[in-house]
């Protein structure tokens, strides 16, 4: 009960801090279209991350969450090897080609068309593309740690047990 009162007070304070005159942009509730019709734009890989070759990357944003905390995009890249920093949580689905991935802890995996993989935000991985790769990427900004703990605490209270904190 005390937790609910604290959270309600925090929400009320936050609501008062937002100016009333701010109008949110009109959202797109549904976005669909052929990936072949999306405009791919240059998305250069940081030069200091490139280990070999001359990989050329492009990206096309498909959609963005109303809160700017989630993005879905198409991404492609020519041959090369590079380290990649995942600033956001990212789930990928390989559409074409393959990539040899080595994570920070030494796990190696080859991802090819149809494979799905998840990379946690704040981590590095080495990518080696031998010919060409095309993927769809679902990116989400990780919640700040205090907010993550608040969600876990809420789940604990709702579930009535300790399993909510283990996630």
Q: How confident is the model at residue 161, as a pLDDT?
A: 62
In a domain, 125, yes or no: yes
Residue 155 or 59, more confident? 59
In a domain, 1, yes or no: no
Dist. CA 87–CA 119, nearest whole Å: 10
pLDDT for residue 153 is more than 50: yes
Q: Model confidence over 139-151: pLDDT tens digits?
A: 999 878 888 788 7
Domain enclosing residue 56, as ranges: 41-145
In a domain, 73, yes or no: yes
Q: Which two tokens stand for residue 135?
A: 């993927």
In a domain, 10, yes or no: no
Dist. CA 95–CA 134, nearest whole Å: 5
In a domain, 78, yes or no: yes
Mean pLDDT of the chain: 84
- Range of weakest confidence among 14-18, 57-61, 99-103: 14-18
Q: What is the mean pLDDT of residues 45-51?
A: 98
pLDDT band at 31 (very low <50, low <70, confident <90, very high): confident
In a domain, 70, yes or no: yes
Residue 20 or 132, more confident? 132
CATH number at residue 133: 2.60.120.10
Residue 145 or 56, more confident? 56
Nearest to 126 by CA among 103, 147, 93: 103
pLDDT for residue 11 is more than 50: no
In a domain, 154, yes or no: no
pTM for this model (two decimals): 0.73
Taking a C-beta distance cutoff of 8 angstroms, is the pair 128, 83 a contact?
no
Dist. CA 161–CA 57, nearest whole Å: 47
Report the domain count for the chain. Answer: 1
């Amino acid at each position: 009960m005390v937790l609910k009162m604290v959270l309600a007070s925090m929400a009320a304070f936050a609501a008062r801090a937002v100016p009333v005159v701010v109008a949110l942009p009109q959202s797109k509730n549904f976005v669909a279209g052929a990936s072949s019709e999306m405009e791919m734009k240059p998305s250069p890989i940081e030069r200091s991350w490139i280990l070999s070759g001359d990989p050329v990357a492009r990206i096309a944003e498909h959609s963005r969450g109303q809160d700017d905390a989630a993005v879905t995009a198409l991404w492609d890249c020519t041959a090369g090897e590079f380290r990649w920093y995942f600033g956001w949580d990212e789930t990928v689905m390989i559409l074409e080609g393959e990539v040899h991935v080595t994570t920070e802890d030494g796990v190696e995996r080859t991802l090819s068309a149809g494979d799905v993989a998840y990379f946690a935000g704040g981590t590095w991985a080495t990518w080696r593309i031998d010919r060409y790769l095309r993927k769809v990427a679902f990116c989400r900004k990780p919640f700040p740690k205090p907010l993550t703990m608040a969600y876990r605490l809420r789940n604990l209270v709702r579930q009535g047990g300790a399993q909510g904190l283990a996630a």
